[in-house]
Amino acid sequence: MKKMAALAYEKGAHFMQFTGDMINGYLSSKEAQHLEYFNWKKSIEPFWHYMPFYIGMGNHEVLGIVFRDENGKRGAFIDGFPYETQSAEVVFAEAFVNPENGPESEDNNKYDPDLEQADFPSYKENVFYYTHGNVAMVVLNSNYWFAPSISKQTATSGGLHGYIMDNQLEWLRQTIRQLENDRDIDHIFVTQHTPAFPNGGHSKDDMWYHGDNSKRPYVAGKPVDKGIIERRDEYLDILANESQKVVGILTGDEHNYNWLKLTPEVPIYPDGYPHEKLRFSRPIYQINNGAAGAPYYGQEVLPWSAFTQSFSVENALCLFYVSGEQITMKVYNPDTLNLIDEVELR
């Protein structure tokens, strides 16, 4: 991280966006979680006095309650509660300073079991947006209310890795609409931890789950209406078809670097997919960089692999050079300083 920050600073970056997996996490102790965050912050401290770092949540920021059987084997793992003091979300908000202009929580969504009390953790400082010059960055949380066990057993409720829940999706729709009408903004980037299209290491989850749309969050013991692939499509529909300004999505999670240009030609469905299919009225990019230092993940073969570009397992720092209408991305290895890739995005 120190090399990532040092190179970004040396190249004159105005700000840095880092979306999840700062720490190993998966803890049950709030104090231990803060210790890990402290160490991450310490690694970049010489630089963040001089340029802002905006931080998002990933799966490794999970903090919660682990149920074990009599042999100590891990069973259910759910977000910590009371949410105001013990959730992954509140500890994240304590550790970092981010804008507070996001949605409130998933309370009062149509599955909320009790409209009088708070039944979900806060989105405060883990979903938000900011602008710099003619660029807007929308930061989402695809690991909200995260229950790591929910994808395999649904005896508890909880959020699913990769799933943008209803209130957050609606906030995204409103925020994109507002930015579309903002004459000072030319380019919008959207960032969340999980790729819509995994390429190496996470085909079993992210927004794909081997093409299994049955995966979804559970609220008050019941599955929500939309599966992970339906929700992925609703999400991409907003970015591509309800916007002209969204350049693409910036993702992580997988320990590699690559990019995809999403067009109608790219196959994005499992065989025999029965639901409505998305059509891109204009292309958007997915740029994935989870190569800040974690052990690398090699490439997998997936329906869209023929369109996956520049796949690399080198450590990588993505720098976006914005000049009026134009955007160029340059990707450097922060360890060896060589140029990995250069792409004209606009």
Sign, CA dihedral 224-205-102-21, equals: positive
Question: φ and ψ at 167, to 5 degrees?
Answer: -65, -35
Cα(58)–Cα(138) distance, integer angstroms: 15
Q: What part of residues 88-117 is at the interface with Fe ion (CB under 5 A)?
A: none
Comparing CB distances to Fe ion, the nearer of 56 and 334 is 56
Q: Which stretch binds Fe ion (CB under 5 A): 54-62, 85-93, 241-249, 295-303?
A: 54-62
Length of the chain: 346
Judged by CB under 5 A, which of 76, 253, 259, 285 binds Fe ion? Answer: 253
Q: What part of residues 56-75 is at the interface with Fe ion (CB under 5 A)?
A: 58-59
Q: Which residue is nearest to Fe ion (CB)?
A: 253
Angle formed at CA 161 by CA 132 and CA 258, multiple of 5 degrees: 55
The reply on whether position 25 binds Fe ion by CB under 5 A is no
Q: Which stretch binds Fe ion (CB under 5 A): 17-25, 34-42, 220-228, 275-283?
A: 17-25
183 secondary structure, DSSP code: T
Q: How far is the CB of 295 from Fe ion (least distance, A)?
A: 13
Residue 205 makes CB contacts below 8 A (sequence gap 6+) with 151, 161, 162, 194, 198, 215
The reply on whether position 148 binds Fe ion by CB under 5 A is no
* Residues 23/55, Cβ–Cβ less than 8 Å: no
Q: How far is the CB of 291 from Fe ion (least distance, A)?
A: 12
Comparing CB distances to Fe ion, the nearer of 72 and 295 is 295
Please give the size of the binding site for Fe ion, defined by CB under 5 A.
4
Q: Which stretch binds Fe ion (CB under 5 A): 52-60, 97-105, 108-116, 274-282?
A: 52-60
The reply on whether position 21 binds Fe ion by CB under 5 A is yes
Element housing 39 (H / E): helix 30-48
Pairing of strands 135-139, 128-132: antiparallel
Q: List contacts with Fe ion (CB under 5 A).
A: 21, 58-59, 253
